[in-house]
Chains A and B, each alone.
Chain A
Amino acid sequence: MDDKREIAKTLYKTMGLTDAALNDPDIAHLVINGNMVVGAHLVPGLVVEPHETPNGVTVTMKVLAGSIIQKPVHLCFGMLPEDGLQEIIMDVTIEEHAKVSILAHCTFPNAKNITHKMQANIAIKEGAYYSYVERHVHAPGGLITVVPHAIVTVEKNATFKTDFELLRGKAGIININYETTCYEGSLLEMNAKVNGIDDDDITIRETGHLKGQGAVGVLTTRIAVRDNAKATVYNTLTAHAAFARGHVDCKEIIQDNGVAKAIPIVEVYHPKAHVTHEAAIGSVDDKQLQTLMARGLDEDEAVDLIIQGLLS
Chain B
Amino acid sequence: MTILKLENVSLSLDEKPILNNLSVDFWEGHIHAIVGPNGAGKSTFSYVVMGISGYRNITGTIYFKGQAINNLTVYERARLGISLGWQEPARFEGLTVAQYLKASKKDKGMSIEEAMDVVGLSPQEYLQRACDKTLSGGERKRIELASLLVMQPELVLLDEPDSGIDVEALERIFDAINILKERGSTVITITHSMAVLKKAEHAFLMCHGNIIDKGSIDKISGYFENKCIPCDHKNIPVLGEVQ
Tell me the A residues contacting B by CB distance below 8 Å: 222, 251, 285-288, 290-299, 302, 305-306, 308-312
User: With contacts A286-B53, A308-B94 known, is A291 near B99, CB below 8 A?
Assistant: no
Whether the Cβ atoms of A293 and B73 lie closer than 8 Å is yes
Whether the Cβ atoms of A310 and B93 lie closer than 8 Å is yes
Contacts of B89 in A (CB 8 A): 291
List 14 interface pairs A-B (beta carbons < 8 Å), by A numbering: A290-B52, A290-B90, A294-B50, A294-B52, A294-B78, A294-B83, A294-B84, A295-B78, A297-B103, A305-B95, A306-B92, A308-B95, A309-B94, A309-B95
Whether the Cβ atoms of B99 and A298 lie closer than 8 Å is no
Whether the Cβ atoms of B75 and A298 lie closer than 8 Å is yes
Q: How far is the CA of A297 from the CA of B73 in the complex (A)?
A: 11
Contacts of A305 in B (CB 8 A): 95, 99, 103
Residue of B nearest to A311 (CB): B94
Instruction: From the candidates B78, B84, B95, name the one contacting A312 in the complex (CB within 8 A).
Output: B95
Q: How far is the CA of A298 from the CA of B10 in the complex (A)?
A: 27
Given contacts A288-B90, A295-B83, A296-B104, 16 further A-B contacts (CB under 8 A): A285-B90, A287-B86, A287-B90, A288-B92, A290-B50, A292-B103, A293-B74, A294-B78, A295-B103, A298-B75, A302-B75, A305-B99, A309-B95, A309-B99, A310-B93, A312-B95
Q: How far is the CA of A309 from the CA of B95 in the complex (A)?
A: 5
Contacts of B50 in A (CB 8 A): 290, 294
Q: How far is the CB of B94 from chain A (nearest CB, A)?
A: 3
Whether the Cβ atoms of B103 and A309 lie closer than 8 Å is no
Q: How far is the CA of A298 from the CA of B79 in the complex (A)?
A: 10
Q: How far is the CA of A19 from the CA of B106 in the complex (A)?
A: 38
Contacts of A294 in B (CB 8 A): 50, 52, 74-75, 77-78, 83-84
Interface size class of B (residues with CB under 8 A): 20 to 34
Could you tell me which residues of chain B, from 131 to 147, have a CB within 8 Å of some CB in chain A? 147
Residue of B nearest to A312 (CB): B94
- Give the secondary structure class of A's interface: helix
Q: Is B4 interfacial (CB-CB < 8 Å)?
A: no
Contacts of B83 in A (CB 8 A): 294-296
Residue of B nearest to A288 (CB): B90
Residue interface bits B97-109, CB-to-A below 8 A is 1, else 0: 0010001101000
Whether the Cβ atoms of B53 and A296 lie closer than 8 Å is no
Q: How far is the CA of A287 from the CA of B90 in the complex (A)?
A: 6
Q: How far is the CA of A287 from the CA of B86 in the complex (A)?
A: 10
Contacts of B52 in A (CB 8 A): 290, 294
Residue of A nearest to B91 (CB): A288
Contacts of A309 in B (CB 8 A): 92-95, 99
Q: How far is the CB of B52 from chain A (nearest CB, A)?
A: 5
Contacts of A308 in B (CB 8 A): 94-95
Q: How far is the CA of A118 from the CA of B184 in the complex (A)?
A: 61
Q: How far is the CA of A293 from the CA of B93 in the complex (A)?
A: 17
Q: Is B6 interfacial (CB-CB < 8 Å)?
A: no
Q: How far is the CA of A199 from the CA of B151 in the complex (A)?
A: 39
Contacts of B79 in A (CB 8 A): 296
Q: How far is the CA of A214 from the CA of B200 in the complex (A)?
A: 57
Instruction: From the candidates B75, B90, B104, B151, name the one contacting A299 in the complex (CB within 8 A).
Output: B75
Q: How far is the CB of B136 from chain A (nearest CB, A)?
A: 18
Residue of B nearest to A287 (CB): B90
Contacts of A288 in B (CB 8 A): 90, 92
Residue of A nearest to B144 (CB): A291
Residue of A nearest to B151 (CB): A295
Q: How far is the CA of A53 from the CA of B90 in the complex (A)?
A: 52
Residue interface bits B51-84, CB-to-A below 8 A is 1, else 0: 0110000000000000000000111011100011
Whether the Cβ atoms of A291 and B94 lie closer than 8 Å is no
Q: How far is the CA of A311 from the CA of B94 in the complex (A)?
A: 7
Q: How far is the CA of A156 from the CA of B33 in the complex (A)?
A: 62
Q: How far is the CA of A302 from the CA of B103 in the complex (A)?
A: 9
Contacts of A286 in B (CB 8 A): 53
Contacts of A312 in B (CB 8 A): 94-95
Whether the Cβ atoms of B74 and A290 lie closer than 8 Å is yes
Whether the Cβ atoms of B75 and A297 lie closer than 8 Å is yes
Which 7 A-B pairs rank lowest in CB-CB distance, beginning with the nearest? A309-B94, A309-B95, A312-B94, A293-B74, A295-B104, A296-B78, A293-B75
Residue of A nearest to B74 (CB): A293
Contacts of A311 in B (CB 8 A): 94
Contacts of B147 in A (CB 8 A): 295
Contacts of A295 in B (CB 8 A): 78, 83, 103-104, 147, 151
Contacts of A302 in B (CB 8 A): 75
Whether the Cβ atoms of A291 and B90 lie closer than 8 Å is yes
Q: How far is the CA of A32 from the CA of B78 in the complex (A)?
A: 51
Q: How far is the CB of B58 from chain A (nearest CB, A)?
A: 16
Q: How far is the CB of B82 from chain A (nearest CB, A)?
A: 8
Whether the Cβ atoms of A296 and B90 lie closer than 8 Å is no
Whether the Cβ atoms of A310 and B75 lie closer than 8 Å is no
Instruction: From the candidates B75, B86, B94, name the one contacting A296 in the complex (CB within 8 A).
Output: B75
Q: How far is the CA of A302 from the CA of B78 in the complex (A)?
A: 13
Q: How far is the CA of A102 from the CA of B43 in the complex (A)?
A: 51
